[in-house]
A and B are shown apart, each in its own frame.
Chain A
Amino acid sequence: MLPCPDKPPDFLAKSFVVGGLILQDQEMCCSAKERKVQMDNGFNAGRAIKVSSFNGTDIYRIDTDKFKTSSIHFFFQDNLTRETVTKNALLPAVMRRGSQKYATLKDISMELENLYGASFDCGVTKKGERHIIHFYTEFLSKRYVPDDTETFDAALDLLFSIIASPAFVNGRFSEEYLAQEKEKLKILIQGRVNDKMQYSVDRCLEEVCRDEPYSIFDYGFAEDLDAITADELTAHYRTMIETYPLQVYLAGSITDRETDRVIALLKGLPGRNVLTLRNGFVKKEGMEKRQVTETMNVTQGKLCLGYRTNTAADSADFPALMVFNSILGGGIHSKLFQNVREKASLAYYSYSRLEKFKGLMVVSSGIEIKNKDKTLEITEKQLEDIKNGIISDQEIEAAVKSIETGIKSLTDSQINIVDYYLSQTVSGTNDDFNDIIEKVRQVKKEDVVNTARRICLDTIYFLTAPENAEQQ
């Protein structure tokens, strides 16, 4: 059982288990995880209620008491561009070093420890062509704390001081923190190659979108780091605070008083005039398929196929695309698992995944290098079969049920609930968990076939060892 479907990464990543029979597919989303509860969406997951909206700031509250923790999330959003991406990535890295009230990493850590092991983190992610800077804190809800600590207030103070009152020296970010974090960010960017599975999938989709902003890596460009000065980053901080649309989510056991405090704090931020966002969905058909080969000192080859789905997340066909993806490579019931792995024994993992905002799909398999052509052939045949309507009723049924289980399971994780609602706002949809399940259940075989016929292969990406590359 490899990647744990639940975030905070401090858990399964560290426990040394092998094996799992199956490499779990992961959602391609997400950055990083006895009072009466609203049950109006059918789940004890709370519904995201917009409690306030002003100056490009939206505040949502998700009431649920099933978790032992509550959390506060700030999402600042920008359009993904070469000009701002590296500064957007550097900003939270420098900001997390300290605030006026908590001057050092050590001060922040001590406060978190005193709050019964609360978490704080920040970073960047992309959804389609939006670049999102995420700051969050998660902490034990008050009723699980053995004393009278107001955990919400304390965690909010910490988070807000980091966001609104950075540890400026002479009105700008500290040169020392800046230099250190530039170096660390450079290491992080260069470290992309360390995780071959993730790297190959990312690189494949970047190749598909080679002429579009989506191809920009979330953490920016190492070569752009040197030129960023403390003055520039400070100016960029003001740009973020004053012009980036901001969404705040309060999740867990939250009171009205606590909500009002958040609203009051945010109203105190400088006047805002926010920019307009896009998600970058593109339709593209009839292109020639390209081969991209990259070499590295690897044992296993990673074959990734990048496609345009030509179905937008807000289109009526999107549920059919979800079913299509599930049939093709969305789990153990899928054609890829059954044929590439179980029948041909070519791979331990072979799956497909959607990037719903940009309209992309990737198929990824870890294989022996010499089996590239064979794997490619079997993979393409699976997609062709779906286009030709070779889908059994059991396949559709298993796919629909698997999606249903997946969506219901999201409601058991606070970070996944928040991410679900955030994603809805990015794709411009307004589906609750039940709405989407209902739509998926209505999908017919011909809808799947029609959706499949719009899908176009763009790039065949292969990560391989040097000596094999020469034979290609």
Chain B
Amino acid sequence: MNIERIEYEKAGEVLYKYEHSSGLKAFVIPRKGYSKKYAAFATHYGSVDNEFIMPGEESPIHVPDGIAHFLEHKLFEQKDGSVMDKFSALGSSPNAYTSFNQTVYLFSCTDRFEENFDLLLNYVQNPYITEESVEKEKGIIGQEIMMYQDNPGWRVFFNLLGAFYKNHPVKIDIAGTIDSIARIDRDTLYKCYNTFYHPSNMMILAVGDVDPGVVFEKVEGAIAHKQPRPPVKRIYPDEPASVSRDYVEQQLAVSIPIFQMGYKDRSFGEKGIDLIMYETAVKLLYDILIGRSSELYEQLYSEGLLNSSFDTDVSVENGYSFSAMGGESPDPLKVRERFCKALEDVKRKGLDETAYNRLLKNMRGRFMRQFNSVERISHSFISVYFKGVSMFDYLQVYDKITFKYVNEILHEHFRQENLAMSVVKPV
């Protein structure tokens, strides 16, 4: 068995890596002294993958919105009952989540890691879906969808995506709608499963005080497919470069307007370190422009236009990318006006290099702090993995990124014609 050991001295971290004959890669990030042992089995399949060509077929199929998330719920059902009961009997907590690009099955335990890990490897590879259980799940997921409809932070974000994108499925709520999930049936769930749950399209990660040799041996023994399969053909609609609308508004039972605004960016075809280099640059730019130590934030905060709920977010993915900032504000339009004005000033005068250096230092420290938590390590590692990078590549990015490059991205990313805003207002 060929186990690769990679040491990241600066971070005080080690990564163990193993590749299965099917093309699946498995990783272990040890955490000496931690009680929690954690493992995740993830597939490169999320809510945006709603049109694709099944292996061996010629023509594409279009599946109902929310099906990746629905399948996530249904995998827990097994021939002999819910696999949750088996995890419960071991005292561990299983869970799963679906994002735009991936579905992740995980558990966290403090004892009997190996038995838990066996369960995880087994149930994700063995779906048992019945028509009856599909119907039953519609009630549960229906309530999940309604819960998000009452969540203003969630609504304002998806309304922004709706403003950015005319066609791209990233604008669709991950769980779908009550109507779209009504169209989901057993047969389509299996089609999605057979397309995206081949080990070539998946990865495994364990974090905790576990033995990498044992983890990899279990992976080797448990993965049923031994041969690799070519990548799934995913089909995404053409998407114009400009925003679909520059402003959207919704009313909800909130006490103060909540907003998100940001910039739609181009679609990056390439994978790899360039993606996270670009992402890091945009993040640094937000920190410089409107971060906690910026002139602009201090002013907007003092004038009551922003409060500490303000936050920023940058997503650079293979098929789409955007940035967003938002929070509560009595006058979101004023915030937009002030941001745009400050942005123009900075574009004209150039960036402050002292601030750049300080904020890069800040970012390095924040990166290191993630290693305190097994959940964060797992989330960070998996969220970049299918983009063709390792979370440890950020260390390289922080060493290689330059002031000049960040200045270039300032002009590339923050274009007035790509700006959109979403506001949720009190009823």
Contacts and interface: CB of A to CB of B under 8 A. Distances in A.
Interface residues of B, number: 95
Contacts of A17: 97-99, 174
A64 B258 CA distance: 41
Interface string A364-381: 001110000000000000
Interface residues of A, number: 89
Interface in A160-216: 176, 180, 183-184, 187-188, 190-197
Q: Which 9 A-B pairs have the closest CB atoms?
A: A401-B91, A116-B365, A345-B139, A117-B365, A44-B33, A333-B88, A109-B293, A18-B174, A113-B362
A118 B95 CA distance: 31
A113 B313 CA distance: 18
Nearest to A344: B139
B99 to A, nearest CB: 4
Contact of B110 (A24, A190, A298, A405): A405
14 contacts: A14-B313, A21-B97, A68-B372, A105-B292, A106-B293, A109-B293, A146-B10, A184-B307, A188-B307, A341-B140, A345-B137, A409-B108, A412-B374, A413-B372
Contacts of A412: 34-36, 373-374
Interface of B: 10, 12, 31-36, 47, 69, 72-73, 76, 82, 84-85, 87-100, 108-111, 136-144, 146-152, 157, 173-175, 252-256, 258, 291-295, 297-298, 301-302, 304, 307-308, 311, 313, 328, 330, 358-359, 361-366, 368-369, 371-376, 379, 383, 427
A272 interface: no
Contacts of B146: 299-300, 366, 368
Contacts of A68: 12, 368-369, 371-372
A408 B147 contact: no
A187 B307 contact: yes
Given A114-B361, A332-B88, A345-B137, A187 B256 contact: yes
B144 A19 contact: yes
A107 to B, nearest CB: 8
Given A6-B373, A19-B73, A412-B36, 20 more contacts: A4-B375, A15-B383, A18-B47, A64-B33, A67-B372, A69-B372, A105-B297, A105-B301, A117-B365, A180-B301, A183-B304, A187-B328, A297-B253, A331-B88, A345-B138, A345-B139, A398-B88, A411-B35, A412-B373, A414-B372
A390 interface: no
Contact of A21 (B96, B330, B372): B96
B253 A193 contact: yes
Contacts of A6: 373, 375-376
Contact of B143 (A66, A332, A366): A366
A169 to B, nearest CB: 15
Contact of B174 (A16, A65, A113): A16
Contact of A106 (B72, B100, B139, B298): B298
Contact of A348 (B140, B149, B379): B140
